[in-house]
Amino acid sequence: MVNIAIATPEIFLLCTICLILLIDLFLKEDCRMVTYLLSQVALLATALLVYSRLGGEKITGLNDMYVRDDLGSVLKISILLLAAGVFVYARKYLKDKNLWKSEFFLLALFAVLGMMVMASANSLLVIYLGLELLALSMYTLVAFNRDDGRSSEAAMKYFVLGAIASGLLLYGFSILYGLSGRLDIAGVAAYVSGQQVMTNLPLLFALVFVVAGIAFKFGAVPFHMWVPDVYQGAPTAVTMFLGSVPKVAALAMLLRVLAESVGLANPAWAQMLLVFGLLSVFLGNLIAIAQFNLKRMFAYSTIAHMGFILLGALSGSTEGYSAALFYTITYAMTAAGGFAILVLLGKEGFEAETLDDIKGLNERNPWYAFIMMLLLFSMAGIPPTVGFYAKLSIIQAVMQAGYLWPAVFMVVMSVIGAFYYLRAIKMMYFDKPDNSDPINAELDFNVLISVNGVLMVVLGIFPSALMGICSAAMVASHL
Amino acid sequence: MLDLPLLSFLIWLPIVGGIGVLIVGDRFGAKQFALGIAALTFLLSLPLYTGFDATTANMQFVELLPWVETFRINYHLGVDGISMPLILLNTFITVLVVIAGWEVITYRISQYMAAFLIMEGLVNGVFVSLDAMLFYIFFEGMLIPLFLIIGIWGGPRRVYASIKFFLYTFFGSVFLLISLIYLYQLGGSFAVADLHKQPIELTPQILIFLSFLLAFGVKVPMWPVHTWLPDAHVEAPTGGSVILAAITLKVGGYAFLRFALPIVPDAAAQLDWLVMLLSLTAIVYIGFVALVQQDMKKLVAYSSIAHMGFVTLGFFAVYGIARYVIGDRVAPEGVPFDLAAQMADGRFDSAILAMQGGMVQMVSHGFISGAMFLCIGVLYDRMHTRDINAYGGVVNRMPMFAAFYVLFAMANTGLPGTSGFVGEFMVILASFKANVWVAILAATTLIVGAAYTLWLVKRVMFGDIRNGEVAELQDINQREFIMLALLAGAVLLLGLWPQPLTDVMEVSIENLLMQALQSKACVGALVGGCL
């Protein structure tokens, strides 16, 4: 069955990107704003398209390669809105750093397209296609500031390691294909359902490769080596994009591959995720303490957060998956906001990236300091911020799956994690500023960062709606 | 009047008011605005007392709204005789704290006032929550304003103290979180009333009890997890010290009553010796530690730990008392709690006395420690040192202040007629029925406590004027007089006539005690693990 209509949003986005590419050719240097605005319109219009198709049954099409379900739609809407938000934040950075080029937006749009494909993939091969579209765009974006040696180095590392991970993933897929003779998710699932998972060595072998590939995309220990270097080396605007939006796509991949296709092999891959998750929570939080560079600190804290997401997903239950989705969406918002504050503090020829740069922020601008404090408390998981509910639902799912001691380990590590968030807050509130230059931002930036910060508390006090959306999406997709 | 959601007002009025103060900023009257909000909140809390029905142990002023459906968390508020006095204490002390910061805080005034108001709302939330997760959210959220108060307006080592404070308490409370989630999975509810009825096997009970002990013990604080308190007190601004000593320590004690005793009674009965041991260590050993302090604030901080030892001692002495009645520490499974038999013996009354003593001690300590810290603040504002050796002969220059100071010091040693006497006396009296040696050891505090407090008074107040700075001291002004007079009134009133306080809590404590003395370890199939 072809039913090309189910891919309308993706097709629309692709056409718009091509159109923007063309228009951009004829724009003068000082009209880049048009490209930016068109990109925003493209993202929002696509989000509307996806939204208009929300609800309703799960439909597959394009020869069963593609699926439209609520899970995919929720993931896509989050990806699109997060990307639109990141664009607003990035604009200031790009202008400040003399990187105001249309390539940033176009590459990011291609990455978004790749992520949407991943979110809607119904075949292992389509997942891989989407992943590569995302990854190739990201490699280029990381190297975006071509005069900066660190940026190029980061891109090189990211590319080499990313290529290896893609290879691992593809190899795992190929073994699954060899075993089941199928590439579509339902076909693989049908194969797995007839197997004794724990004794089927080839299947376990395939799972190891698939899980390793996914863990790499998450940046989970022991596949985390690229994260700090790439976060630090990439221009902050790119780090912001990389640190927020693709996390949703990584979860999409995890849900489509591990949960939907080899979901019945949960006892096997849950053990791998348990090890990766606990190691990530442990190392991420511990090493983050030693970081003085905020971008690196956020990188290690991301590793710890990804550990939480993996641990949430390992329970294999609807609660666990929806907890992971809730965690991912809220974390992506928090991370985008955190990097936005870094963007805010930077200025022409100066990159704000160490703890010293946020010193005394409360005296320079109490409102931004307050927002940053909310974001950091949310990352630390202190109520009444939304991070608390994210952690609560993950821990609840982990305990429900019978992992009491891992849950204890997780909360103890989050106490250790609280230390470096507190240290950042201490820098902002308890120390005197090194410089007292005024901090300027345009209206759209100010409005968005305020909304972003306040959302941390609003969602923390009223988490029901978003939690409801997450679990409804899981139920609609029979996860 | 009864239709008003009074408890919600008590939580949200200070929080919204605090945000309002932040928005108003330092330009126009942040202080006046904050004082208005604090006073209004105090007035709003008075109907809790006047409208309180002391004849029932049921929750009153109840509000119930569904909140987070996914986890069946409800916005469930209510007060009983245990929480109500603590709310009044909180709203009263907050008014004083706002006054105390009036002239002293010179920078970022609106943030300072806002932090205390938000703190007040969150602490009220802790005391009125009848949903465990709601309680946890307030319990944790409370850390944020206090962390900022210590860190921004504190002394030289404020960063160390604030982060230590935060991490200690956070470390304790994550175990509380795990326990609550465990209980939720057992019974499918976070409602405190459901948790009280939830049967739990003995082994999980003991683990839950230990995590409660860690979470609440850090807050109280109990020896040996008390070390954050002296640091936090020394570095905090006067207002922060007052709130810490008078209010946040009470949260720990209150939580023992609301969670530990009724939810895991069997474990509490098994491990009561541990808590008693820690409490006695706090009372005796920390008392001696206080004796050698050179810093006035540190001295009062250690004496706070010693006094809070009485609170936990009183709460857990009930198992020792009850043991003599029924041959075991709690009523065995299948045998309903026999109130009449216990009443006849008079032991039940002793158990009530012990628990009531702990509660009175909490309220009284709130007034006394608050007053002590305010007095130290008064001296510090003038001399900018807390070193005892820098003072001497203050009475010659500040006679009115000295009168208050001596009164509060006497209350701190437990002089009859002051509130400090009532609680300690009740606890010591009751613990004789549990164990004579425990009572005797606890009673030594009357000597040690008198020693360190009177020695402090002697060195600071009396003797010759020590140096030129002391010679130039000015006596307290009207603002300081009002604060200290209000507290002196409270201390004396509670000391001479404690009945209004003990009456409102009597029925609630009786009910709590019956829950705490009734086993629930082996309802249903499991028999082997029964007590």
Q: What is the DSSP string of A167-210?
A: HHHHHHHHHHHHHHS--BHHHHHHHHHTS-GGG-HHHHHHHHHH
Sign of dihedral through CA atoms A450, A454, A456, A462? Answer: negative
The answer to whether A382 contacts B144, with C-beta atoms less than 8 Å apart, is yes
Tens digits of per-residue pLDDT, A144-200?
888 888 899 999 999 999 999 999 999 999 999 999 998 989 899 999 888 888 888
Identify which of A269, A261, A456, A279 has the alpha carbon closest to the alpha carbon of residue A374: A456
Q: What is the pLDDT of residue A87?
A: 93
Please provide the distance, in angstroms rounded to a whole number, between the alpha carbons at the two ends of chain A.
24
The answer to whether B70 contacts A471, with C-beta atoms less than 8 Å apart, is yes
- Token pair of A473 as six digits: 């999406």
Whether the bond into B224 is cis, omega within 30 of 0: yes
Burial of A478 (0-12, 13-18, 19+ CB in 10 A): exposed
Identify which of B244, B242, B183 has the alpha carbon closest to the alpha carbon of residue B212: B183
Q: What is the pLDDT of residue B334?
A: 56
Tell me what the mean pLDDT of segment A305-311 comes to.
93
Q: How many helices (H) and strands (E) does chain A have?
A: 19, 2
Tell me what the mean pLDDT of segment B349-369 comes to.
89
Tens digits of per-residue pLDDT, B44-64?
888 888 888 888 888 888 888
Best residue in B16, B69, B70, B225 for a mutation probing chain A (most A CBs within 10 Å): B70
| Cα separation, A276 vs A449, whole angstroms | 33
pLDDT surpasses 90 at A375: yes
**Chain B nearest-CA residue for A323:** B70
Tell me what the mean pLDDT of segment A261-275 comes to.
88
Token look-up 């002023």 returns B61
pLDDT surpasses 70 at B529: no
On chain A, the residues whose CB falls within 8 A of the CB of B208 are none
Q: What is the pLDDT of residue B344?
A: 61
Q: How far is A460 from chain B (nearest CA, A)?
A: 10
Best residue in B119, B131, B181 for a mutation probing chain A (most A CBs within 10 Å): B181
On chain B, the residues whose CB falls within 8 A of the CB of A312 are none
On chain A, the residues whose CB falls within 8 A of the CB of B177 are 392, 395, 411
Q: What is the pLDDT of residue B341?
A: 62
On chain A, the residues whose CB falls within 8 A of the CB of B126 are none
| Cα separation, B144 vs B212, whole angstroms | 21
The answer to whether B185 contacts A404, with C-beta atoms less than 8 Å apart, is no
Token look-up 């002697």 returns B458
CB of A237 closer than 8 Å to CB of A89: yes
Tens digits of per-residue pLDDT, A232-266?
999 999 999 999 999 999 999 999 999 888 888 88
Q: How many CB pairs under 8 A join A and B?
A: 87
The answer to whether A423 contacts B163, with C-beta atoms less than 8 Å apart, is yes
Give the CA count within 13 Å in the CB-facing half-sphere of B247. Answer: 31
The answer to whether A411 contacts B174, with C-beta atoms less than 8 Å apart, is yes
Burial of A29 (0-12, 13-18, 19+ CB in 10 A): exposed
Q: How far is A21 from chain B (nearest CA, A)?
A: 45
> H/E element holding A254?
helix A236-254
The answer to whether A411 contacts B178, with C-beta atoms less than 8 Å apart, is yes
* Number of domains present in the structure of chain A: 1
The answer to whether B159 contacts A426, with C-beta atoms less than 8 Å apart, is yes
Q: Which residues, listed in sequence order, are joined to residue B191 by a DSSP beta bridge? A: B131
The answer to whether B162 contacts A426, with C-beta atoms less than 8 Å apart, is yes
| Cα separation, B229 vs B234, whole angstroms | 8
Three-class secondary structure of residue B62 per DSSP: strand
Residue B13: what residue type? L
**Chain A nearest-CA residue for B161:** A426
| Cα separation, B422 vs B92, whole angstroms | 20
The answer to whether B177 contacts A382, with C-beta atoms less than 8 Å apart, is no
Q: How far is A312 from chain B (nearest CA, A)?
A: 15
pLDDT surpasses 50 at B351: yes
Q: Give the pLDDT band (50/70/90) at residue B464.
A: confident
Sign of dihedral through CA atoms B211, B213, B216, B219? Answer: negative
Interface of A with B (CB under 8 A): 362, 366, 377, 382-384, 388-389, 392-393, 395-396, 399-400, 404, 407-408, 411-412, 414-415, 418-419, 422-423, 425-426, 429-430, 463-464, 467-468, 471
| Cα separation, B176 vs B358, whole angstroms | 23
Q: What is the pLDDT of residue B463?
A: 80
- Token pair of A431 as six digits: 């120390």
Best residue in A321, A415, A427 for a mutation probing chain B (most B CBs within 10 Å): A415
Q: How far is B150 from chain A (nearest CA, A)?
A: 9
CB of B277 closer than 8 Å to CB of B213: no
Interface of B with A (CB under 8 A): 67-71, 108, 111, 133, 136-138, 140-141, 143-144, 147-148, 151-152, 158-159, 162-163, 166-167, 170-171, 174-175, 177-178, 181-182, 184-185
Tell me what the mean pLDDT of segment B275-291 comes to.
89
What ipTM is given for this predicted complex? 0.88
| Cα separation, B72 vs B396, whole angstroms | 63
Whether the bond into A222 is cis, omega within 30 of 0: yes
Q: What is the pLDDT of residue A59?
A: 87
- Token pair of B339 as six digits: 């109130």
Tens digits of per-residue pLDDT, B113-171?
899 999 999 999 999 999 999 999 999 999 999 998 888 888 888 888 898 999 999 99
Three-class secondary structure of residue B77 per DSSP: strand
- Token pair of B426 as six digits: 């009740």
Q: How far is A426 from chain B (nearest CA, A)?
A: 7
DSSP A261: I
Q: How far is A366 from chain B (nearest CA, A)?
A: 10
Identify which of A253, A264, A271, A148 has the alpha carbon closest to the alpha carbon of residue A210: A253
Q: How far is B511 from chain A (nearest CA, A)?
A: 32
On chain B, the residues whose CB falls within 8 A of the CB of A408 are 175, 178
Strand pairing report for A66-68 and B73-79: unpaired
Facing residue for B68 by CB, picked from A400, A418, A464: A464
Range of the domain at A377: 4-476
The answer to whether B177 contacts A392, with C-beta atoms less than 8 Å apart, is yes
The answer to whether A388 contacts B143, with C-beta atoms less than 8 Å apart, is no
The pTM for the full model equals 0.91
Tell me what the mean pLDDT of segment A103-132 comes to.
93
> What DSSP assignment string belongs to B197-228?
H----HHHHHHHHHHHHHHHHHHTTPTTS-TH
Beta strands in A303-350 (DSSP E): none
Query: Mean pLDDT for chain A?
Result: 90
Q: How far is A244 from chain B (nearest CA, A)?
A: 26
The answer to whether A411 contacts B175, with C-beta atoms less than 8 Å apart, is yes
Q: Give the pLDDT band (50/70/90) at residue B223.
A: confident
